Amino acid sequence: MAPWTTSWRWVREYLTAVRPTVARYLAEWQTQATAIEHSALRTQALSSLTTKQFHCEGGGIFSSPSRDPEQRLLPFIVAYQTACDYLDTITDRGPSQAPDNLRQLHQALLDAVTPGKSPEAYFRSHPDGDDGGYLTRLVTRCQTEVATWPGWSAVAPYIRTWVNLYIDLQVYKHGPVESRVPLLTAWADRHADPRWSLEWWEFAAATGSTLGLFALASEAQAGPSPSPDRIDRLARLYFPWMGALHILLDYWIDQQEDAQGGDLNFVTYYPSQKEALKRIQWIFDEALAASTLLEDAAFHHYIARGLLGFYLADQKARQGLRSPSCRLLVQGGPLSVGVWLVSLVGRAP
């Protein structure tokens, strides 16, 4: 089958199989979120399910029927991404950014990928009390799914490393304003490979993506003996390149919104929009190059090009960022433009 034909099959599967199934699982979590007694936490849980649904839909691409015929990976993707989005909402809009509170809350994400680990009292340092077990149920659902993966031992070291970095990111970037950049800079210096030639905020962006985790989860779920070489190549693709592309695009379209809310935005650390555009284009090229080392390169090319179309279809990218966003879209080629057109369906003008 020709590469373009294959790519459009994945687009079709995303629309007809992934999105509807994600919506069904999210509806189940919405029912549970509605039962949270604490009004602020209930509002934050429901808000994250509504406004960040597209995160679960995007991650669901790894559960396309042609790759995961029974979509067995999807319950984990939805539960884990929902936990991330819920915690992000609590962290952004909650009453406490104290580092101890942030780290205790995000311990849930590490427990979620640790089968057999007893859930902790994640809200014990949170001023709002707790959510009646909603976050804990997300954690245990993830654990239940992970425990069934025959190839878990091959991917666990990578996943746990990435989750720990994700937790660090959330603690540092949401902590006291005056300490954010010094902490993030020192942290990036400790963990980033100098050969990547990434700025500290580009490394930080890479740690904020869940795509690599879902890519390796797909390998672990598919069989008992995933090739160590393949796992390593996948890991090198998604961390840092695909992850950095993913999150920088997210920040790219959120620049105005974050400025109004006083939120940290990694794209603003570039000296100019021109330089930001140049670096995102370079990271996109690196992702494509790393993808070519895999036998299913076409699928990962589809993800990289799809990220451009998916994010740049957002109305925020079609307003103040129209011209540079168009240049990014053109770099992605016909597939990016096609995904952009498909993504416009159902979005606000």
Range 229-258 average pLDDT = 94
Neighbouring C-alpha atoms within 13 Å toward the C-beta of 273? 12
Q: How far apart are CA 275 and CA 202, in angstroms?
A: 13
Range 158-164 average pLDDT = 98
Average pLDDT for the chain: 91
**Position 338 confidence tier, pLDDT thresholds 50, 70, 90:** confident
Write the burial class of residue 193 (CB in 10 Å: 0-12 exposed, 13-18 middle, 19+ buried). Answer: exposed
Range 313-317 average pLDDT = 76
Q: How far apart are CA 201 and CA 193, in angstroms?
A: 14
Q: What angle do CA 218, 222, 224 make, to 5 degrees?
A: 120
User: Measured in Å, how far apart are the chain's first and last C-alpha atoms?
Assistant: 36
Return the pLDDT at 223: 83
Residue 97 in contact with residue 123, Cβ under 8 Å?
A: no
Decide if pLDDT at 44 tops 70. yes
Give the C-alpha distances (Å, rounded to integers) separating 14 from 71, 212, 297, 318. Answer: 12, 19, 18, 23
Name the most confidently modeled range: 19-33, 89-103, 220-234: 19-33
Return the pLDDT at 257: 83
Return the pLDDT at 299: 94
Q: How far apart are CA 40 and CA 37, in angstroms?
A: 9
Range 282-287 average pLDDT = 98
Range 66-71 average pLDDT = 91
Lookup: tokens for 124: 């014990």
Return the pLDDT at 329: 84
Query: Is the dihedral angle over the CA atoms 250, 252, 253, 257 positive or is it negative?
Result: positive
Task: Provide the whole-model pTM.
Answer: 0.94
Residue with tokens 């809200």: 123
Range 134-143 average pLDDT = 98
Return the pLDDT at 259: 83
**Position 2 confidence tier, pLDDT thresholds 50, 70, 90:** very low
Q: How far apart are CA 287 and CA 166, in angstroms?
A: 20
Q: How far apart are CA 286 and CA 71, in angstroms?
A: 30
Q: Among candidates 224, 235, 51, 223, which has minimal Cα distance to 160? A: 235
Q: How far apart are CA 78 and CA 200, in angstroms?
A: 29
Residue type, 231: I
User: Where does 19-133 have alpha helices with state H?
Assistant: 19-34, 39-51, 53-59, 74-93, 99-112
Q: How far apart are CA 258 and CA 220, in angstroms?
A: 36
Return the pLDDT at 211: 98
Number of H helices, E strands in the chain: 17, 0
Write the burial class of residue 180 (CB in 10 Å: 0-12 exposed, 13-18 middle, 19+ buried). Answer: middle
